[in-house]
Amino acid sequence: MPRLPAEWEPQAAVMLTWPHTETDWADQLPAVERVYADLAAQIARFEPVLIVCRDGAHRAEIAERLHAAGVPAARLLLAQAPSNDTWARDHGPIGVLDDDGRARLIDFRFNGWGGKFRADLDDAITASLHRSGVFGDTPVAASRLVLEGGAIESDGAGTLLAVERTLVDDRRNPAWDRAEVETEIARLLGIRRFLWLRHGALTGDDTDGHIDTLVRFCAPDTLCYVRCEDPTDPDHAELAAMELELRALRTASGNPYRLVPLPHPAPLYDSDARRLPATYANFLVINRAVLLPVYGDTADRLAAERLAGLFPDRELVPIDCRALIRQGGSLHCISMQLPEALGLNAPP
Write down the pLDDT at residue 178.
98
Which of 153, 272, 162, 258 has its CA nearest to residue 208? 162
**185 φ/ψ angles, rounded to the nearest 5 degrees:** -65, -40
pLDDT of residue 345: 78
Separation CA 124–CA 111 (nearest Å): 11
Provide the residue type at 167 as one letter. L
- pLDDT of res. 348: 64
Beta strands in the chain (DSSP E): 11-17, 49-53, 76-80, 94-97, 103-109, 140-146, 153-154, 159-163, 193-197, 215-219, 222-226, 258-262, 268-269, 275-276, 284-286, 289-294, 315-320, 335-339
| Active-site hit among 53, 228, 321, 333 | 333
CA dist., res. 342 & res. 136, Å (int): 8
Contact 11, 341 (CB under 8 A): no
Structural domains of the chain sorted by starting position, each given as residue range(s) with its CATH number in brackets: 11-339 (3.75.10.10)
Note the pLDDT of residue 233.
97
pLDDT digits (tens, 9 = 90+) for 235-285: 999 999 999 999 999 999 999 999 999 999 999 999 899 999 999 999 999
pLDDT confidence of residue 115? 97
Residues in the chain: 348
Residue 1 has what pLDDT?
87
- Told to judge if 224 belongs to the known catalytic residues of this protein, a careful annotator would answer no
Q: Is the pTM of this model over 0.95?
A: yes
> Which parts of the chain have pLDDT scores under 50?
none
